[in-house]
Amino acid sequence: MPNITLSLRPAKSDQSQRCGVCDAEFVPAEDSGARVLSFRAADQDPLTGVLCGGCHSKWSHGTTVTLRAVPIQPARA
pLDDT over threshold 50, residue 74: no
Mean pLDDT of all residues in the chain? 86
Percent of the chain, pLDDT > 90? Answer: 49
Say what the pLDDT of residue 25 is: 92
Would you say 19 and 26 are in contact if contact means Cβ atoms under 8 Å apart? yes
Give the pLDDT mean for 29-35. Answer: 91
Q: Are 65 and 35 spatial neighbours (Cβ–Cβ below 8 Å)?
A: no
CB 58 within 8 A of CB 67: no
pLDDT of residue 73: 47
